[in-house]
Amino acid sequence: MTAQHQFPAETNQSHRKNAFYPSVEEVASIPPLYATENTPAADKVVHLHYSVGRCDWYIAEVDPESLTAFGWAEVSPGCGEWVYSNLAEMEGLNAQGYVIERDVTFEPVRAGDVPRINGTPSDRSEYQYSAPLTAEDAERLGELLGLIMATCAEVSSGKTGLPTGFFLRSYTRDEAMDALGLEFLSHIAAGDSEVTAAGKAGGWLLKVTSESLAIAVEFRRSQR
């Protein structure tokens, strides 16, 4: 990308914390389209990370002229795959105020080392607690998380018409369970009661679900 060829103006800039497009220098370091086609998927290097809700895009190749990008994306829960996307179309998506954000702290990394891509739980070591959970606490936590997920699945089903099983399959994945558990425990650690923490964790899960579904619908519509 040259100084004469710049990214288009952002249409949703006011909804974002950071710029959607990377710098000219960052783009110059990303391989062009098809440059890594003979590289095993796990060994491809992903240079950019975009997300909204539980939707993620990890970019490995970019054509700065057409803004076509190739990388790993999970737009529907449990359906991650290597696909082509268009950065301009992604930037323009706005589903009820939800927009796709670029992770400006993301550093280039081998795809096989990204937890979301290789299927291992994300590193959430920033959450620290004063003592490990006892077996009784862990059993109680499991019961509470199950109740929160079941309640949220029913609410989401009522709003969308999709079966509750669709949401429960997404919620019961290890990564989702870990994230929900940590969300709940963070409120407990802050001094909230179980009831208050459960309500806040449920609200968080419903918000993430709404974001993911809204952007997934808009993304699928834009691909037609």
Residues listed for the chain: 224
Helix (H) or strand (E) holding 141: helix 135-160
| Domain positions in the chain | 13-120, 135-215
Burial of 179: CB neighbours in 10 Å, binned 0-12, 13-18, 19+: buried
d(CA 67, CA 217): 21
The string of pLDDT tens digits covering residues 128-161 is 333 455 666 667 777 788 888 888 888 888 888 8
The residues that bridge with 57 in the sheet, in sequence order, are 50, 73
Whole-number pLDDT of residue 45: 98
Record the pTM.
Answer: 0.60
